[in-house]
Amino acid sequence: MCVTIEVVRIGAFELDEPLPELDQPHVLAMLDPWIDVGGVGTLTLNWLEDHFQAEDLGRIARPGHFFDFTRYRPSVYYDEEGRKQVSVPNTYMTYGQGTNGHDFIFLHLLEPHNDSDRYIESVVRVLTKLNVKRYCLIGSMYDYVPHTMPLQVTGGASGQATASELEVQGIEASNYQGPTTITTLITQQAPALGIDTMSLIVHLPQYTQLEEDYTGAARLMDIISSIYGIPVDSDYYEKAQHQAEEVNQVLDKNPQLKALVSELEAQYRQSPLSGSQNLQPPLSPEIENFLTDMEKRFREGPLQGE
């Protein structure tokens, strides 16, 4: 039996009808692949969608207009009835009903390869149509920080109330300058439309490069839970603890890596937000060479002891 789903077109998006009645919705967005190292944004949104039993809301109608499928590869899978299906990478959104005065929209962004202006315009039009009150981008980046210390989170905010929430959480503004994602334009355009903005980027140890970094996801979960009063998923903490134990086992077998972590710990104590943006003092030449060598090895396989 074929079920027809009615949709409404907004820019490049198609949203399922009837549109849900959302109360003061806040968007929590992640971006693949630019700021989703260790899959932290993906893991965090998956946790939120599970918690709120999120339902489909919409997607890009013609993803091939924006994405190069030789870079974002489609995948083949079998459905519950054993039929082969093809999953096409896309930007999509889901929604969940909140309990503290506003609902949530979960936005899975892909960095566009083509027609970026229309892509950004379409996202902004959807935010306006759904009367979004806050747009929050979450994610992760690699940095020269130790895994033995609390992971640092940087971010930014527009809107007095939103900025105050970041201040309460101890989130420092990022002073990064350099290449960025075109989706930053969403954050720039939103305030003019009456939409507050927030970003939460957790800094992960450059030397670990885990496919799924549960420590990073748990750190973001802590902040989001504190802001919105959402119960955290203890399973993430258990996995984070297991990963930390594995990294420590490697550390015991690798003197160079152990020296690297000790140096990063010393810099962390001097300035918790040292990282790649404000390293004082600079890493020693030996450690710099070791990191360069490790980056090459990461392309060949995961972290291993010697």
Q: What percent of the chain lies above the pLDDT cut of 70?
A: 87
Beta strands in 22-89 (DSSP E): 26-32, 55-60, 75-78, 84-87
* 8 A C-beta contact, residue 20 and residue 197: no
* 8 A C-beta contact, residue 244 and residue 72: no
Would residue 281 count as lying in a domain?
A: no
Q: pLDDT value at position 296?
A: 58
Q: pLDDT value at position 144?
A: 86
pLDDT 10s digits, 269-280 = 876 554 444 444
**Which is more confidently placed, 145 or 117?**
117
Task: Give the structural domain span for 147.
Answer: 7-242
Would residue 45 count as lying in a domain?
A: yes
For 25: left if phi > 0, alpha if psi spans -120 to 50, otherwise beta; the answer is beta
- Statement: residue 174 has pLDDT above 50: yes
**Which is more confidently placed, 143 or 278?**
143
Q: Of 118, 150, 147, 123, give the one whose Cα is nearest residue 137.
A: 123
Would residue 256 count as lying in a domain?
A: no
* 8 A C-beta contact, residue 147 and residue 208: yes
* 8 A C-beta contact, residue 140 and residue 213: yes
- Statement: residue 140 has pLDDT above 70: yes
CATH code of the domain containing 107: 3.40.50.10900
Q: pLDDT value at position 181?
A: 93
Would residue 259 count as lying in a domain?
A: no
Domain tally, the chain: 1
User: Most confidently modeled of 96-105, 204-213, 216-225, 260-269?
Assistant: 216-225
pLDDT 10s digits, 22-70 = 999 999 999 999 899 999 999 999 999 999 999 999 999 999 999 999 9
Q: How far apart are CA 207 and CA 263, in angstroms?
A: 13
- Statement: residue 243 has pLDDT above 50: yes
What is the rounded average pLDDT of the residues 295-301? 54
| b/e burial code for range 293-306 (CB count within 10 A of at least 16 → b) | ebeeeeeeeebeee
Residue 57: alpha-carbon gap to chain centroid: 20
Question: What is the pTM (predicted TM-score) of this model?
Answer: 0.86
Would residue 225 count as lying in a domain?
A: yes
Q: Are strands 196-205 and 153-158 parallel, antiparallel or unpaired?
A: antiparallel
Would residue 183 count as lying in a domain?
A: yes
| DSSP label of 63 | G
Would residue 292 count as lying in a domain?
A: no
Would residue 261 count as lying in a domain?
A: no
